[in-house]
Structure formats: C-alpha cells, structure tokens
Amino acid sequence: MSDRVHDIQAQMQPLGWFLSHIKNGEMALPDFQRDFDWADGDVISLLSTVLLGWPAGSLLIIENGANSFLKTRNFEEGPAVSNVNYIVLDGQQRLTSLFHAICGVGPSVFAIDWKKALDTDIDFEESIISFKREQWNKNYSSASKQGHNHLIPISALSSPSDFFEWRDNVLSLMDANEATNSKNELTTIYRERLGTLHEYRFPVVLLNHKLEPAAVARIFERVNRTGMKLSSFDLMVAKLYKENWNLRQLWEAAKNSKENLENFLGDDGLPILQAIALYYNEDIRQSSVLKLQPRVVHKSWENAVDSVDAALNFLSTECGVLGKDFLPYRSMIVPLAALAMDHNLYTYKSTITRWFWACSLGQAFDVAANTRLVSWYKELKLHLTGAHTGTDTIDWPKISIDVLKEANKKSGKAVWCGIICSLALSVRKSHTSLKDAFGENLDGSLDVEAVPFLDGTSPVSVQTPPLHLRGINMVLLPRDEARTLKRGKREDILLSSKKVIEVQFIHDLNEQPRTAEETDSFLESRIRKIEMFLREETDGQVYFSKSMLEE
C-alpha cells in the first residue's frame, strides 16, 4: 500500500512539457479511451482560450509503473509509444488538439490572420482559421504566400526561436516598406497575444502508479462527473444578482417548464443572454453579453426564454434536429431566437429553412462564426420585415457535392449533422411523428448506423475518409434493430423498421452497394434524393454547387 500523502499530487505543468512527452512517445493514452473526435471549430476555441491565457480546465494523469494495469496507445498522429512515463486519463481531446496544431500534424492546419488578430473590434477567436492540409499545402505552404495572406501557422509558435525564425524568413521575401510594417505588426501581436503560448500551464492532478485500480476508477469517475468550467453565463449570474431576482434560479425554472431547453442547452443558459444581446445590440460576442445592463435582461428574460424555446421547436419540427448532438452549429439557435422575439418563425418557414440547410450543408459558420451569424441575423430580419422583396438579394451559401460525399463527424461535422437532420425530417414527414417511427424514448432508442450494415458487408474498396464514418452513408434506426443489422440478419428486420429505412433516401433495401462502383452510384443517388427533398422543403430555394438533378 502506498503512502496516501504521495498518492495524489496537484501541480502546474507548462504546455511544452506535455508536447515534448507526446512527441517522444513518453506520454500515452489508455486503450479504453474513445478516439479523438473534436471538430476544427472545437480546436479553434481551445487555441483561442490558450493564446488568451484563459483557463482550459485541469488534466488527470497517472504515472506508468512496471505493474501498471492500463494498456496504452499513442496519441493520434503521434509516434508509437515507448518508455511511457505518463498516461493521460482526462484531457485527451485538449492535448491531441494542441499537439496537432502546434506540432503541425493531423488532417487540418491552423493559422492566425494577424491583421484580424490586431483588430480589437473582432473577437480574437475569429482570427484563427483552419485549412484542410491538402488546401494548405497547395495554396499557403510557402513563406511568401503566408506573408502575402498575413497567415501565421500555429506550428510556427512551437517555440520563441521558431516564431522569430519564421518571421524573419517571411519578412526577407517582402519589399522594404511592407517588411517594416509587417515586422511591427508581427512583433506587436507576438508580444500581446502569441507569446503567452510558451508560458501557458495546465493544472494537473498526478496519480501515483501504485494506486489500486479501484481507487483510480473512482477518481476518474468523479473527475468526469463533476468537471465544470466557469462560463459567461456564470459571470452574468453574479453580475445580475439581486434580492428577488436570481438568474440561476430563473434558468432552472425555465428548464423545468420547457423540455427543449434542458435537452439542447443543459446547464448553460448563455444562448438566452446572447439572444438578448443580438436583439438589442446586434452583437453576440462575449464582451457584448457581459455588457448587458441588468434592466435590459430583467425586462427581456421571459420573452427571450420563450423565443429560444420557439427556435428549438422550429429546429426540431421543421429542420429535423433530434437533439444537441445533431445540431450543425449550436450558435444557430441565437439568431433564430432573436428573430422569434418579434416574429412567428413558422410564418416564414421557407426562408428560415433555406437559411438552415444552406448554412449547415454549406459550412457557413466554420470560420468567423460570430461575425457571420450577426450578418445573417440582419439579412433575415430584413426579409421578415419586408425590406427584401425576393431571394436574389442574398448570396446564399452553395452546397458542395464533394463535401457532402466525404463529410464525417471529425471533418465536416456541420454537414454530417445536416445530413442526419435531413434523414430525420424525411422520416417525420412520412410518419405521424418521429416517436411513431422510432418509439417513445428517442434518446435511448435511436442509433446512427452505416448503410453497409444493412446486408452485413462493406464495399470492397478502401475509402478515405472511411465509408462507415460518412454522413451520406448513414441511416437512423431504433437501437435494437441496429443491433440486428450489425449481425447481418436483414431478414429479421421488422416491417416497420424497413419502412423507416426506405424513406431515408434509399427506397429499396435491395439497392445496397457491394462494389466500389455501386458505392459511388449509391452515394450519388442519395445526394440526388436529398437535393430533391430539400428543394421541396424550401419551395425550390436550396441550391447545390453542381446540381445532381440536372445530370
């Protein structure tokens, strides 16, 4: 039995300490951990938090001893583990994100637009941009192109010397005047924002390797159950508190009376406050929320709560959003709620559903989300008030066929969610209700499954990204039926489930693909049917970059 005093230690460790251990294969993950699944937007939010020097939560780590009971594996894109000193029990997603971005590995490249980063009227997070690695390598890999486009790759910040070497290389390729101005800008942004990366520290709970498995399991369970972060909503609870008016109590009462609020928002009532800030100030940035005056929040709270609930009802009934995990962008709730404070969303169904599908499947909020959401709110408001007389005045995002084919939860999560929403909406339109199709307990009974399970086989070709992860290859099924299909027993599928499957842009269970050629044809067929369905839902107002209906 180890000395309890030394079983658990709290300490602060610099970010570089973690990255060094990961790069050397000396820090590993327990094999039971789920795979890395953060989208680029999640990584950007974390990078912004770290570069601003804000807390990003604590990490739970255990020493790796000779008698460790944990089987380990390497971080995604990291080297094979060897001589493992530490095992990360809690913090995989955060450390993997930072490892990918700072060490320049993984499917995406992250960079900072230094012109935007210097603009104090723009949220710093909006200056951080993600690129698919192929796109970066083609368009921005050289120092001259990075300088021309004012892009600082996050990988150039791996150390102070790396940054200044990168800076001097970029400046050497500019003319004298441009180099002078850029040097001043880069020096300023490094001093005020970027240099903090090298000083950033995580609070760490370090467990002794001699701890018994039962104790480790208990600690791990408690950390995952109670881990919470201080949010802008929590700060507003404190700011707005006064006798007989407690924002936290009002939020709990709102959740108790409106089921959608609990299901979609959980403990975070921030979208209510964002809707108020957008309605009055046409701004949803954190700074705008924190500047809200108590009298404004007091006056608008009930209307804002009802409006957020109305927005969630609309997203559920008219856009097929089954729950928070299937919402393409959580922030889409806010502009709809702000509009609902003055308007009945169902009166403008065609315009609002077109906005939902075009922005979700068109990845409209993958970058500069706050700015674009405010811009779209203003555009939609003009439509709803009659200032716009037609749709030609708006440049709606186009939906890419190629993105639709490849989108998955890790790369193109908004598109993946949008596809699932279209499946759910199609089922709802074909049945009395989703509960009629899937059963009473949707959250407990519904699975998202890959189509090849329908006949127990997979296409013969190797696909990138893997076919079984792509949204366009998914179906919604009751969980017990999904288990039946996974066992390859298609003949045991209930007739009711067959009808649910067939309205998800399949129509015939016998058309399942068995070869690479049949797979491509099947995916294109589904895209064609989705396009036809969405055009019907929006009075013909959703457009794909290359229409499958015209081929």
The structure's pTM equals 0.72
Give the pLDDT of residue 547: 56
Please state whether beta strands 59-63 and 201-207 pair in parallel, antiparallel, or not at all (unpaired).
Answer: parallel
Q: What angle do CA 451, 428, 309 make, to 5 degrees?
A: 115
Blockwise average pLDDT, block size 10, the chain, 551 residues: 60 94 92 79 90 88 78 90 89 94 94 92 87 93 94 95 95 93 94 90 86 70 52 74 80 92 89 95 87 90 97 95 91 96 93 94 88 92 72 76 88 92 89 64 56 48 72 80 60 63 76 72 88 88 66 48
- Cβ 7 vs Cβ 219: under 8 Å: no
> DSSP label at 391?
S
E strand or H helix that includes residue 108: strand 108-113
- Distance from CA of residue 480 to its chain's centroid? 28
Give the pLDDT of residue 514: 67
Can you say whether the dihedral through the CA atoms of 100, 156, 23, 95 is positive or negative? negative
- Cβ 474 vs Cβ 450: under 8 Å: yes
Give the pLDDT of residue 228: 43
Cα–Cα distance measured from residue 471 to residue 412, given in angstroms and rounded to the nearest whole number: 9
Half-sphere exposure of 379 (CA within 13 A, CB side): 17
